[in-house]
Amino acid sequence: MVIQKGAQAPDFKLMGHDDKEYTLSEFAGKRNVVLAFYPLDFSPVCSNEHSCFVNDFEQFRDLSAQVFGISVDSKWAHKAFARQLKIDYPLLADFHPRGDVAKKYGLYLDDKGITARATVIVDKRGKVADVQVMEIPQQRQNSSIIKVLEALK
């Protein structure tokens, strides 16, 4: 079952494409967090989405939000993807055990072996402020994410 609004967001520790380990709990009391779960690096929709995050990055920063991309790809695939799209925010490798973090959020698609396309916004208290799940070929809209973040100010 997909995690629900108001639930305590499960903590995690994942390696970023920048060779740093990140935990959700390190942002508690400091920043809201946008967890952008996506199926795979280099797929057409994912490439478009991440380009949009890059283009709107200043807005997310101005709203005191930390953006993370999360997929089952390895950090090496993330490095190449980030380099190609000039991504500055961390892409986290939910690689081993495969999809472990996505499973905690109810967003791992066992039958496909990938992560669902979804956005989970976690507020500074560590609570889920919003969950948006899209169909795999449907691109998320940054405007709806920004609207939620503005309400959390």
Cα separation, 85 vs 88, in Å, equals 9
Residue with tokens 């967090």: 33
Q: Supply 65's token pair.
A: 């939000």
Q: Is 126 left (phi over 0), alpha (psi -120 to 50) or beta?
A: left
DSSP string, 40-52: -TT-HHHHHHHHH
Task: Say which of 33, 36, 45, 46 is annotated catalytic.
Answer: 46
Known catalytic membership, residue 46? yes
Cα separation, 138 vs 39, in Å, equals 11
Q: Supply 139's token pair.
A: 């691109």
Torsion angle defined by CA atoms of residues 124, 129, 148 and 82, in that order, rounded to the nearest 10 degrees: 70
| Active-site residue set | 46
